[in-house]
Structure 1
Amino acid sequence: MKNIIEVDHLQKSYKKRKTQEVIEAVSDISFVVKPGEILGLLGPNGAGKTSTIKMICGLLHPDEGSVKIKGVDNTKHRQKALRHISAVLEGTRNLYWRLTVRENLEYFAGNRGVSRKTAAPLIDDLLIKFKLKDKENELVNRLSRGMQQKLAIAVAMLAESDVILLDEPTLGLDVETGYEVREILKSIVADYNRTIIISSHDMDVIQDLCERTIIINKGKIITDDRVDNLMKFFEVRSYSIKLGGLLTKEQESRLTIVFPNHLYTADVIQATLEIELAQSDEIYRLFDILKLDATPVEAIDRKVVNFEQVFMKLVKGETAHAVAQSI
């Protein structure tokens, strides 16, 4: 099968309780998820991301459109479709805190109709893979946040579903445990042949894990592209220029008009100019301004950008047209 998930023209609206005003949360969203990929599904608060996630998981019925999971419509054939997807939503709420680690795994395996004897080899494998073996008889409410999160993901693995959807999988974790969870998620794809959808506000996680990202804002998809493509697009247009002298007032004025988002810092004898070029030929306009007073250029370096900067620029609509043309 070419696509494991097909989201087709989803729409969802709500009415405000007091005013009965209709709010369009999701507006004609379509995308696909391929088997074996790690996809980032992102958006600022109120963008429609959560509604989209809930419709994929079958927790919310769309007003229009459909979601197919492994070819099965999750509205028309809900139970059959949802066999192929597991979700860890809102942290560790899918755990029973007064049961031990192993008891949680045995309980949720039993909920899936799997006997304790049959589930034992998979549970043992998950305990080792998720580094929970030495905590298997510990009550969940005594575990650290990181241990609880790893157990929540292990519980989702018990279903042996094709797709795992994770909402903020590293939220509240210390740096070391956060990296450990990232490595576990990579191994889930590599060793268990699963597909993962991640929703997160931690852009380092998205940059490290995801091959592709979909960004939703104001109910619409504004970007659907590979993470490395987006990084390259912004990197080649972001420059740090070290000047051997100070800019004149006229030069500063022209920079503000032509490049309103530039950053200029100066000390007594030299200055640094940080600038983003919407098009590559804008470099000539920049040099025309520097030539006005023969300002010496000592070095030009491409700025290192991170995915959080890329995300913010896309959400704010900066260079969105140029990105669309380049993809």
Structure 2
Amino acid sequence: MEPIIEVKNLKKSYKKRRTDEYVHAVSDVSFEVYPGEILGLLGPNGAGKTTTIKMICGLLIADSGSIRINGTDNKDRRLKALRHISAVLEGNRNLYWRLTVRENLEYFAGNRGYGKKEVAEKIEALLASFNLKMKENELVNRLSRGMQQKLAIAVAMLADSEVILLDEPTLGLDVETSYEVREILKKIVREHNRTIIISSHDMDVIQDICERTVIINQGEIITNDRVENLMKLFEVRTYKLTLGGELTDEQLLLLENKFPSHQYDADDFQATVKVDLADNEEIYDLFDILKLMKTPVEAIDRDVVNFEQIFMKIVKGEKGNGLVQSS
């Protein structure tokens, strides 16, 4: 399958004010996005993620490298390339707050060259699909943040573009509305054959709806893999043992030498120790330490790793079980 978006060797630097020093926001970023997938684009603040997003959208011009959208270079043939992509920026900046819900849909349809009659049926379908029908005559500035976000996505749908780029689509939403937006995004891909690139700090959203994620840190891609593969890298790795007493100084020294990243908490009656295992057989080394003073084990629990933990491990450079950058 041919990619619908190709990002190759992208670089972007900014000159600091009043100095000759340059900040390399994006150093050498390359990845591809395929039709019909939901791709998560992640990175800590200052990692280069937002700069990359803006270059894909045509809001910034790269210093070097290229971006092809549906086979068209977005620098050499900018307008043709950008016809294939719609963006929903954080803060709902693609809405007019002094227009009603319906007026926003009609206005942005007009910007795309469609008349009211031409898109009337489509607007009705979007109002129904996004549960906005009862609010169609409400001014946008009177809507809840969740309603505004749903309208912003509906506006992006009007363009019939193959790719929709969403910047923090669930930021500031309550739990119920966040889940509603997630289901809408899944439906867009499933029923409308669209491709979605989503930038989000909500790791639950990424884990729930994205098939693959590209993680950027310090201007470079540090991993590019399916979410399910990243989850497997760190599964069955962390154990928490509840002990029937405290460990001795000798046991603590052995624990520190064998498991330097361990966590140990104790009171007069009970203690807990949490360890990350490089190999599952290392659990026997832990048991040997406990057996030394016949420390009773009251419970053994395996920590369930979520995507937020995995993200932090990857950004910190932990490799998991053979973590490599892939595509």
Give me the TM-score of the superposition, normalised by structure 1.
0.95
Partner SS state of residue 188, structure 1 = helix
Matches of 2:218 and 2:289, distance apart in 1: 38
What residue is the counterpart of 2:280 in the other structure? 280
Which residue of 2 is the match for residue 239 of structure 1? 239
Corresponding position of 2:263: 263
Q: Distance in 2 between matches of 1:308 and 1:138?
A: 37
In the aligned structure 1, how far is the partner of 2:313 from the partner of 2:249? 29
- 2: distance between equivalents of 1:232 and 1:89? 32
Aligned to 1:10: 10
Cα distance in 2 for partners of 1:170, 1:41 equals 14
TM-superposed deviation, 1:79 = 0.7
2:224–2:326 contact (8 Å) kept in structure 1: no
Q: What secondary structure sits across from 2:93 in the alignment? A: coil
Q: Distance in 1 between matches of 2:171 and 2:163?
A: 21
Residues 40, 212 of structure 1: 8 Å contact kept: yes
Shift of 1:85: 0.6
| RMSD (CA atoms) | 1.8
Q: How many angstroms apart in 2 are the aligned matches of 1:147 and 1:49?
A: 26
* Structure-2 separation of matches of 1:264 and 1:172: 36
Which letter does structure 2 place at the counterpart of 1:300? I
Q: By how many angstroms is 1:321 displaced?
A: 8.1
Q: Report how many aligned residue pairs link the two structures.
A: 327
1:172 Cα deviation from its structure 2 partner: 1.0
1:169-189 Cα distance to aligned partner (Å, 9 max, x none): 011111111111111111111
* Whole-angstrom distance in 2 between the partners of 1:292 and 1:18: 64
TM-score (norm 2): 0.95
Matches within 5 A, 1:291-302: 291-302=291-302
Alpha-carbon separation, structure 2, partners of 1:326 and 1:235: 19
Q: Which residue of 2 aligns with 1:193?
A: 193
Structure 2 partner of 1:80:
80
Report the CA distance between 1:271 and its aligned residue.
2.4
Deviating more after overlay: 14-23 vs 78-87: 14-23
Q: CA separation in 2, counterparts of 1:257 and 1:322?
A: 23
Asked if structure 2 preserves the Cα contact closer than 8 Å seen for 1:235 and 1:302, the reply is: no
Displacement of 1:288 = 3.4
CA displacement 1:185-231 (0-9 Å, x = unmatched): 11111111101111011111111111111110011111111112222
Matched-pair contact (CA < 8 Å) for 1:240–1:273: yes
Q: 1:250, 1:207 → 2: CA distance?
A: 42
Paired with 1:8 and 1:189, the residues of 2 have a C-alpha distance of 25
Amino acid at match of 1:48: G
Q: Output aligned runs, 1:52-201, within 5 Å.
A: 52-201=52-201
TM-superposed deviation, 1:255: 1.6
Q: What fraction of aligned residue pairs are identical, expressed as a percent?
A: 72
More off after superposition, 241-250 vs 134-143: 241-250
Amino acid at match of 2:95: L
C-alpha displacement of 1:58: 1.1
What's 1:253 paired with? Answer: 253
8 Å contact from structure 1 (residues 278, 322) kept in 2? no
Residue range with higher mean Cα deviation, 109-118 or 253-262: 253-262
Query: Which range is displaced more, 29-38 or 262-271?
Result: 262-271
Q: Who is 1:33 aligned against?
A: 33
